[in-house]
Amino acid sequence: MRITILGCSPSFQNAGGHCSGYLVRRGDTSLLVDCGHGSLGSLRSVLDIRQLTAIVLSHMHADHFFDLVPLRYAYRFGGEPESKTPLWLPPGGAAVLDSLTAPLDLDEAFFSGTFCIREYNPARSLTIGGVELRFAHAKHFIPAYAMRLSPVDDPAQALFFSSDTAPTPDVQALAAGASVALVEATQLHEKAGIQPGHLTGDLAGSLASVAKVGRLVLTHYMEDSGDDLLKQAGSAFQGPVELARELETYQV
């Protein structure tokens, strides 16, 4: 199983960068995890979008899903897939998409005309092609879900994706023993008096250390904080740790 970083910026794009998007491939399965601002351009540079098996969103903040709009146009004007692309949303996600059609002047079938829209049950596993996904409730400002992705035929090899989250036992447990952990590191320091919803480099490193993951890749970070976040994470996690880089591919 391989993961290609399509976007690793935080809620706004780093200079020349893109927001959250990750392409996971296993055999004939090509799975897009999140689809934030600008990530479609990266996706199209590495894959014919008609070959996407499915899309899965961790949560409904714009920096994790808003490129669904240009993706829909890319299908409309660049060639529709043979069948609707499955779009798996978190609980309540379909209502968020529905709410966009009027203010963006989109027809009612803008999304449903191309995507087969469903909401996953985070309490159950989800199998898409050759990949199985498991979920855990993240601790964020809106409902969000961390993911664990494993090849169906080799479940010992696992990719963990934190989504956006503050520390929480459920997310920690989901990460246990993952070969590669893709963990957000949005903040350099915890902000006093503000509801936590993100990780620092220290907290990302601590998560990786306690979960005993094989490799830590920091994502969702501000470019001018990258070096400091890397040092923070490295002080808490003794295994390999690096910053996610767009179009970099990792073997899980």
- The domain locations on the chain are 2-251
Is CATH 3.60.15.10 the right assignment for the domain spanning 2-251?
yes
Q: Is the pLDDT of residue 88 over 60?
A: yes
Measured CA to CA, the distance from residue 152 to residue 86 in angstroms comes to 19
State residue 159's pLDDT score. 98
The pLDDT tens digits of the residues spanning 8-30 come to 999 999 999 999 999 999 999 99
According to DSSP, the residues that pair with 147 across neighbouring strands are 135, 161
Q: Residue 5 carries which side chain, given as an amino acid letter?
A: I
Position 193 confidence tier, pLDDT thresholds 50, 70, 90: low
pTM comes to: 0.96
3-state secondary structure the chain: CEEEEEECCCCCCCCCCCCCEEEEEECCEEEEEEECCCHHHHHHHHCCHHHCCEEECCECCHHHHCCHHHHHHHHHHHCCCCCCEEEEECCCHHHHHHHHCCCCCCCCCCCCCCEEEEECCCCCCEEECCEEEEEEECECCCCEEEEEEEECCCCCCCEEECCCCECCHHHHHHHCCCCEEEEECCECCCCCCCCCCCCEHHHHHHHHHHHCCCCEEEECCCHHHHHHHHHHHHHHCCCCEEECCCCCEEEC
Measured CA to CA, the distance from residue 117 to residue 120 in angstroms comes to 10
Mean pLDDT throughout 203-228?
Answer: 97
State residue 194's pLDDT score. 64
Q: Which of 20, 71, 73 is nearest to 44 (CA)?
A: 71
Mean pLDDT throughout 214-242?
Answer: 97
Q: Is the pLDDT of residue 191 over 80?
A: no
Mean pLDDT throughout 167-187?
Answer: 97
**Tokens of residue 91, six digits:** 């609980």
The pLDDT tens digits of the residues spanning 148-162 come to 999 999 999 999 999
Neighbours of 235 (CB within 10 A): 13
The pLDDT tens digits of the residues spanning 17-68 come to 999 999 999 999 999 999 999 999 999 999 999 999 999 999 999 999 999 9
